[in-house]
Every structure is written in C-alpha cells, then in structure tokens.
Amino acid sequence: MISESPRSSSSVSGAGFEVARIDDAPLLLRTPPPLRTLDDVRLQVAYEVAIRAITKAKSLDGVRVGVLLTLSKDEDELFLYKVADIIAHQLQLTSFFFALATTGSSLLNRPNPVVFVASSQEYVQRAILLTSAKFIGRIRSGAQLSHVRWAGLIDGIGTSTYDNDALWDIVRKCARAPMDPTLPPPGSRSIDQILSDARAQLQRITPRQAWDELREPEVGAPTFLVDIRPAAQRELGGIRGSLVIERNVLEWRFDPRSSSRLAIADRYDLRIIVFCQEGDTSSLAAYSLQQLGLLNATDIIGGYQAWKDAGLPVDEARARALIE
C-alpha cells in the first residue's frame, strides 16, 4: 500500500518581497504591506477624533451640535482642518455646527487655533459675532475660510472651564431655529414672575415692623437698615441712620467672601433690611443677598414711600434746602 505524503511548502525571501512555493505549484509573490507614514497616522487620529465628536454631539432644533477640545502639540490648525473635513463629510446630509479647538501649550508658542465648521453659512456668521463678545481681548486673528468654515487664534483656550462653557453657549445659540421675536423664549420669565418668585423666599416686613425691630434694645444679630435708592431719589428725603449703599455694589459690600466687603460684613447672620423707593427693587436685592448666604436679609413692603406715609421719622432737611 502506497501512501501519499503531505504536500510540502517552501519559501524564498527576496529583496522587498517574499516568494512562496507549494510543491510544484507556481511561485506566489507576497508583497509586504506598505509602511504607514506620519501623515497616515495623523489622518487616522483625526478620523477617530472626528467620530468621537460626532458621537458625543447633541441635537438642538434638528441640528447636530458639538464642542471638541483636543490636545495637539504641533500643526494644530492643519489637524483641526482634517477633523473639520471628516465631520463635514460624515454629516453632509444633515444640519450641523461644531466648534473645534486645541488646548495645552503649543510648541510654536502662539495662541490656540479654533475652527468652526457648519452646514450653513448663517451658523458661522452668528458664531463670529458671539465669539467676539465671549473672548474679548483674547482673539488674535480670524478669517472665514469658506462660507461654512471659520478659523481663528485665541489666547489660552482650555485654561479654565469658562472656555468650554462659552463655546457650548455659542454653538447652542447659533443652531437654534429662528423664532418669532415677539414671543418670549422658552424658559424666560417676566419681571413680575421674577419678583413674585423672589418674594416667595422672603419674610417681608412692614415699615412699622422695621421701625420696631430697629428700636429693639436686644437683638440676636447686628441689624442694618440699607437704602439702595439712586442719588436722585435720596435727594428728596431719606431715613436718618440708614446705611446708603448703591444697588450696583450691594452684593460686593455684604458678601463676607468679597474683598470689597464692608468691615461690618464679616458674618452670615446679619439682619439686613433693604428699602428702595416703592419696594420692588428692594425685594430682588434682598433675595440676591439671601443667595449669598445672608438668610436674614429682607425688605420693607412699600419702600421709603410707605415708611413716609406711615408717619415714621424721615430726614427731609436736604430736600428742603434744595427747594429753598
């Protein structure tokens, strides 16, 4: 009985290729895979970064939006251009808007590049205006590369969380669908609603209650009557002994954590009684103080006018002098 021996194979290596033979079969040339260049590697990384950005994108009014901050040490702009090209190709049939930027220190010792890529010229135009407002004094240069793409250089991108939040705010606002300018935007509140919500957090007091509280010989915490009216209203009269603090600096003067605070504002249990002319602005001011942690802050119902109408002591000497 004659048995067949298994087929044997052999190979011969040549310069740049490999020759393989299986028994008497014809020679097979096996060429080695081509070597990957540095450009190939960069393109692969750009593709992965672009896909990651698309995957993490959000949908807003039917528009895919996203922000990508990536670390790149050299050729930052070229890398972002490649990422932008890939995003545009992958989403060519959809509406989209992306903000791309590199972070970290550059080997070229220059500001960080930022690129906007979108499906609509309108998105890019809006973004240019918003970027100028968001990064005042930090934009070194900027140019519109095409009707759907913009690139610029901005100092210190990624050095604080503000930058990421600002870019997200830009893409969200740019991608929103146009709306009727006469209708209030979703989530907005009227001033009456804002005032009502603020007063719901306060224990407001009448002028008489404020007067009695200020005259109380024993109090649990230092109590201050604060006049936040503008100078023009104070000229017509005020309450003697009140602490005059302009509304635009009130929070900085009473926040114990503020470097601009008053010397008396060194504790959070202060009893601060705020008043304005008629009791509206004071409610918002007192609520703002509560948000700082000054939970005893409140205001006078009806303001200075109600105090005066109640027959409580007022200082009108200056007003009389002006009239004379």
HEC letters along the chain? CCCCCCCCEEEEEECCEEEEEECCCCCEEECCCCCCCHHHHHHHHHHHHHHHHHHCCEEECCEEEEEEEEECCCCHHHHHHHHHHHHHHHCCCCCEEEEEEEECCCCCCCCEEEEEEECCHHHHHHHHHHHHHHCCCCEEEEEEEECCEEEEEECCCCCCHHHHHHHHHHHHHHHCCCCCCCCCCCCCCCHHHHHHHHHCCCCCECHHHHHHHHHCCCCCCCEEEEECCCHHHHCCCECCCCEECCHHHHHHHHCCCCCCCCCCCCCCCCEEEEECCCCCHHHHHHHHHHHCCCCCCEEECCHHHHHHHCCCCCECHHHHHHHC
pLDDT at residue 43 in the model = 86
- Dump pLDDT digits (tens) for 55-84: 999 999 899 999 999 876 655 788 899 999
Query: Which residue ranges of the chain lie beneath pLDDT 50?
Result: 1-3, 9, 106-107, 322-324
For the question of whether the overall pTM of this predicted structure is more than 0.75, the answer is no
pLDDT at residue 324 in the model = 44
pLDDT at residue 30 in the model = 61
pLDDT at residue 75 in the model = 56
- Dump pLDDT digits (tens) for 118-163: 999 999 999 999 999 999 999 999 998 888 999 999 998 888 899 9
pLDDT at residue 183 in the model = 87
